[in-house]
Structure 1
Amino acid sequence: MEKIQKKVEHYIEAYHMLDGVENVVAGVSGGADSMCMLNLLLQLRERYGYHLTVVHIHHGLRGQSADEDMKYVEKFCGEKKIEFFGFHYKVEELAKVWHMSDEEAGRKIRYEAFEKILGQNGGGKIAVAHNSGDSSETFLFQLFRGSGIKGLTGIAPVRENIIRPILCLDREEILEYLCENGIDYRTDETNRENHYSRNKIRNELLPYISQNINEKAAWHIRQTAEALGEIETYLEKQTDQAWQDIAEYKEGECWLDREKLNEQDIVIRKRICRRAVAQMAGKLKDITSVHIDIVLDIIRGESGRKADLPYGLEVYREYGKIGIAKRKKQEKDGQICIDCNMEGEDGKEIRCDRGAFFIKKIKNMPANRKIQEKMYTKWLDYDILKSTFQIRTRRPGDYIVVNQEGGRKKLKDYFIDLKIPREERDRILLVAEGSEVFWVVGYRISERVRITEKTGSMLQIEYIPAVAGI
């Protein structure tokens, strides 16, 4: 026990987690990790002199079991004379309202509750009970999602006012500590279920790797994450310096100096472009390497070129500058642009003067399911398509992927090959994101979103044209 406590004390000291802190709000679910953290914070309270408060969140997902969790934590706090606050939410309902997953909604309400109580107490630190295994899981989860360096840095010991005092402990050490201190804990039965990707990594993948490849694999993953964190810190400093010289905001637009940008190494160049898009969009979600490549194409191209980006943005080149801004309203009669976001939704109906689109998300597609080709019903790979796209008419710079190797064809050239009259081209609807076209409605889909044996979830889109005179 003393060895584990000393290990945590040294870890807290190394990252100055509690230096000069007057209030600590601990997020406690009642599980092994959070009960271990709570007891350690109790033991350190006299040494550091902080006021300790516990916040417990009932997510409204697990019925009586969750009720018992809250009662247990509240009783424990009462016996130890710890200030306790319990919150009850209906996460599934909130997730639908906020258009996000249950996991994302749960995290949002937890940290909002933590911040609320911390604010009432006059500020301080929020303590959450991630352990070293969580860092390994996060690394693998982000790696499989295709994350960049920043996403592979694992879980930080300290981030702003959030501290993770037991991030240095593995699961075995936590259970050993609880056993030696005679502390009971609750078990969330859903942690054993493998419906979520994180649970599959925790319950199946990491144990298999440790048992069959390298028993210290989790430790090596954490070391790699820490090294990448150091690299990310260095690259961010270099990006900050370059940004000051290259970027400027003017009348709602972000402008990049093309010549100075091209002087930078490609790594910094991409980070500058990513930062510019993210700052104009107000978020990084769904901004991928494909979109950064679009910006780089504009940088390399001739003056006057432009292309669309997610969240209603466009990128364009004007002489020696690259501009990123909200798309200007289309002035041409008959043009259509409807944003569609399927995040947190299973189905949606979209109508315009040309007809109606009926969109349905299909999860966990059966491996043997046969996909039939129909003119006005298409099935697209949702894992590649992502959650945000547009239904619109054509724009300059549009392209479609025409083969398995990723070869692109300009939409203009595709229309010419099909001998589609110029006046008809402006009326053809597209499913697109940025300048990439996923479906030329009534014609073909992009090879990049075609259903394959690797497809996990798909999007069914049915189009019913409007009938003239109705």
Structure 2
Amino acid sequence: MNVIDKVIKKIEKEKLVENNDRIVLGCSGGPDSIFLLEVFLKIRKKYNLTLALAHINHLYRGEFALRDETHVRKIGKKYNIPVFVRKKSMENLAKDKKITLEEAGREIRYSFFDEVLEKIDGNKVALAHNLDDQVETFLFRMMRGTSLEGLEGIANIRGKFIRPINEVYKKDVLNYLDTNNISYMLDHTNFENEYTRNSIRLDLIPFIEKRYNPKFKEKIFNLMEEIKEVNNFIEIDYDEYIDGNKLNGKIVLSENPYVQKKIINKFLNLNNIQASRRKIENIFELLTTSGSKKIKLDKDYTLLKEYDRIIIVKNKTQEKEIETITLKIPGEIIFGNYIISANLIGNKDQLDKNSFITTLKREDELLIRSRKVGDRIKLKGLDYPKKVKDIMINSKIPKFERENIPIILHNNEIVWIVGIKKSEKYISEDGKGTVVLNVRRKEC
């Protein structure tokens, strides 16, 4: 069985490709991406595939970058496959965002893949990572620090991304292309060891193979497979611990340390954050500290601890301010992530368990805003108005959420801390008030 047939067998066994898929192939013009294209050309008719090539010119290698782009365009024309090209400088992006060239390149690639997927109404992106890439990733992550999940290597399939050739050695890719006289381009920067991954490929692995074990890459791959088997053996119901961007710290801490780390790793992955040992340790540190606390996870996300929960929020969301809005009865407005309506009671269909039947009247004007320092509300059974801040603390509302909860006022008096407490003054005792307030979340 030749190497192409081996990949096709893997595609069939793991159902990486299905009938009528519309697939974007990342194509640099190098040997791996050309080999990947050869695989898809073999199965295009069988699966009735729609293919598109996505090529990125990083404006980094001058005439060589233009040469690669031209080569990919010729291939697309030869096989009647549309080619999409993005020209964007890694160096400029890295400088602007203060990140490494490797991180900048990754950001450019993945945003471009999404763009091309949308243009062709695609459903998958095929990437040309090979088995040598797997070993390099294993060593890179191990040296940088990661979890056992991180040492599984590059997954065959993750969401919309598929990697059909990630169990094929580079030497087998080159041998197939050379034997069949299939042209490809070589990127000379892959032979410069100033980058960590290149140094692993050019210096570390050859040294170990020569000095200690010529089958080093094979041994590493076998270890990765065993790690994957162990991780799959330990079944965890993650829904018990994770709710979107929230992690239930109290339940997590009841587990043993290994399971705790698996849950935290999954929590990061579900929120599209690349896990690392440092990030996992940061979350574990938050779980074991008392009180409220926040730490910056990276340039995009912050971790917040409120009571027994860990919450991941985008940094930019913390800077967002919600304006004050006026609502005249009857009417409806949008406030942040809430839709607030004030209607005259016409029938029981307008009511649900969250409705607030009030003593308000037609033409009354309401003010909706975030809480302010010193806000108080008169509650039933109390002789004095209670601080809104104390109510939110007692209700265990996370600090970062408190500013987003609507406060509804009439004549400068608080009518309702939405979803939390109602003012005694505006509660219709007999349930026959003329105005009902309803609040629902916007659909995201």
TM-score, normalization: structure 2? 0.63
Q: Which residue of 1 aligns with 2:6?
A: 7
Q: Which residue of 1 aligns with 2:255?
A: 264
2:241–2:252: 8 Å Cα contact kept in structure 1?
Answer: no
Note the alpha carbon deviations across 1:82-118, whole angstroms, 9 max, x for none: 2212221122112233332221121122122222222
Note the alpha carbon deviations across 1:133-186, whole angstroms, 9 max, x for none: 100100000000111112111011111111112222111111111112211111
2:241–2:247: 8 Å Cα contact kept in structure 1?
Answer: no
Amino acid corresponding to residue 285 of structure 2 in structure 1: I
Amino acid corresponding to residue 295 of structure 1 in structure 2: L
Q: CA deviation at 1:276?
A: 6.6
Secondary structure of 1:173 counterpart:
helix
1:308–1:315: 8 Å Cα contact kept in structure 2?
Answer: yes
Q: Which residue of 2 aligns with 1:116?
A: 115
Secondary structure of 2:41 counterpart:
helix
Q: Which residue of 1 aligns with 2:103?
A: 104
Q: Which residue of 2 aligns with 1:200?
A: 199
Q: Which residue of 2 aligns with 1:137?
A: 136
Secondary structure of 1:238 counterpart:
coil
Note the alpha carbon deviations across 1:222-275, whole angstroms, 9 max, x for none: 12112222333444x41515416xxx79xx976533xx5454222223444666
Q: Which residue of 2 aligns with 1:243?
A: 241
Amino acid corresponding to residue 238 of structure 2 in structure 1: D
1:277–1:324: 8 Å Cα contact kept in structure 2?
Answer: no
Q: Which residue of 1 aligns with 2:356?
A: none
Amino acid corresponding to residue 322 of structure 1 in structure 2: D
TM-score, normalization: structure 1? 0.59
Q: CA deviation at 1:61?
A: 0.7
Q: Which residue of 2 aligns with 1:224?
A: 223
1:270–1:292: 8 Å Cα contact kept in structure 2?
Answer: no
1:55–1:86: 8 Å Cα contact kept in structure 2?
Answer: yes
1:306–1:314: 8 Å Cα contact kept in structure 2?
Answer: yes
1:273–1:295: 8 Å Cα contact kept in structure 2?
Answer: no
Q: Flag as ranges the 4+ runs of structure 1 deviating above 6 A.
A: 274-283
More off after superposition, 53-62 vs 17-26: 17-26
Q: Which residue of 2 aligns with 1:70?
A: 69
2:145–2:278: 8 Å Cα contact kept in structure 1?
Answer: no
1:210–1:217: 8 Å Cα contact kept in structure 2?
Answer: yes
1:25–1:55: 8 Å Cα contact kept in structure 2?
Answer: yes
Q: CA deviation at 1:52?
A: 1.8
Q: Which residue of 1 aligns with 2:59?
A: 60
Aligned with residue 279 of structure 2, among 273, 282, 288: 288
Q: Which residue of 2 aligns with 1:159?
A: 158
Q: Tell me, yes or no, if structure 1 residue 309 matches structure 2 residue 295.
A: yes
With over 3 angstroms needed to count, the CA separation of the structure-2 counterparts of 1:309 and 1:286, relative to structure 1, is farther
Distance 1:222 1:263 in 2: 34
Amino acid corresponding to residue 256 of structure 1 in structure 2: G
Matches within 5 A, 1:336-375: none
Secondary structure of 1:129 counterpart:
coil
With over 3 angstroms needed to count, the CA separation of the structure-2 counterparts of 1:58 and 1:212, relative to structure 1, is same
1:95–1:102: 8 Å Cα contact kept in structure 2?
Answer: yes
Distance 1:11 1:73 in 2: 26
Identity %: 31
Secondary structure of 1:52 counterpart:
strand
Note the alpha carbon deviations across 1:177-218, whole angstroms, 9 max, x for none: 111221111110000000111001111111122222122211
Aligned residue pair count: 309
Q: CA deviation at 1:67?
A: 0.7
Secondary structure of 1:25 counterpart:
strand
Distance 1:11 1:65 in 2: 34
Distance 1:12 1:91 in 2: 33
Distance 2:178 2:36 in 1: 14
Secondary structure of 1:149 counterpart:
coil
Distance 1:52 1:273 in 2: 37
With over 3 angstroms needed to count, the CA separation of the structure-2 counterparts of 1:161 and 1:306, relative to structure 1, is closer
Distance 2:122 2:105 in 1: 23
Distance 2:280 2:123 in 1: 38
Secondary structure of 2:2 counterpart:
helix
Q: Which residue of 2 aligns with 1:31?
A: 30
With over 3 angstroms needed to count, the CA separation of the structure-2 counterparts of 1:27 and 1:280, relative to structure 1, is closer
1:239–1:271: 8 Å Cα contact kept in structure 2?
Answer: no
Amino acid corresponding to residue 238 of structure 1 in structure 2: I
Q: Tell me, yes or no, if structure 1 residue 185 matches structure 2 residue 184.
A: yes
With over 3 angstroms needed to count, the CA separation of the structure-2 counterparts of 1:103 and 1:9, relative to structure 1, is same
Q: Tell me, yes or no, if structure 1 residue 322 matches structure 2 residue 308.
A: yes
1:280–1:325: 8 Å Cα contact kept in structure 2?
Answer: no
Note the alpha carbon deviations across 1:285-321, whole angstroms, 9 max, x for none: 68435424523543xxxxx6565533564547xxxx6
**Structure 1, unpaired ranges of 5+:** 299-303, 328-470
